[in-house]
Amino acid sequence: MRNERIRYLIVPGWHGSDDAHWQSHWQRALPNAARVQQQDWITPQHNDWVAELDREIRREPGRVVLIAHSLGCITVASWAARADRRALAQVAGALLVAPADVERETCHEALRNFAPIAAQSLPFPAVLVGSDNDAACSPQRALILGRAWGSETVILPSAGHINVKSGHGAWESGYRHLYRLQYLIDQQSRQRA
């Protein structure tokens, strides 16, 4: 996945992604990768997170691929529902990993201001990767979100929240989902040409 024309923008979830998290590994491994730095990782505010994502996307000189995890996925969906055409055109696609279902009854109070989850179809190719045992999002909910967002959806067996705690440090096997996203982006580009 060494595409020098595309920038990769890492969109972490609640508490950010520490150095051992796969998003941090990928940021170091992928060319032209940057990260959204939220002002408050502990008590996230929906509007602030969406605004910061918007600033980061607009700051990029070219197209970006968003690589989001957990609450970052919800932030991407919210941003896409609000963004103008110019900003949306800058996003080539999105990899949405282990979205946090902020509408579930057991959702932490600090995340509830991100509800309701934007349910509009994303205007760019997307791949959603969920898990059949993620406490933050059931596989049924992941499939519902995937349909709402118009994304290709994959449910991994026994992958938890797809983070360090669930044994996904560098998560090298996850690159196959990024490759799949790149294929969908390329396919869309060919169709538009």
pLDDT at residue 115, rounded to an integer: 98
pLDDT at residue 4, rounded to an integer: 47
pLDDT at residue 1, rounded to an integer: 42
Which residues of the chain carry a pLDDT beneath 50? 1-4
pLDDT at residue 143, rounded to an integer: 99
The dihedral built from the CA positions of residue 105, 177, 6 and 21, taken in this order, carries a sign that is positive
Beta strands 33-35 and 7-11 are parallel
Instruction: Indicate whether 2 belongs to any domain.
Output: no
pLDDT at residue 189, rounded to an integer: 85
pLDDT at residue 136, rounded to an integer: 98
Instruction: Indicate whether 127 belongs to any domain.
Output: yes
Instruction: Indicate whether 164 belongs to any domain.
Output: yes
Q: Which two tokens stand for residue 63?
A: 């197209």
Sheet holding 33-35, edge to edge: 33-35, 7-11, 64-69, 91-97, 126-131, 152-156
Instruction: Indicate whether 82 belongs to any domain.
Output: yes
Q: Which two tokens stand for residue 186?
A: 């390329």
Structurally, how many domains does the chain consist of? 1
CATH code of 30's domain: 3.40.50.1820
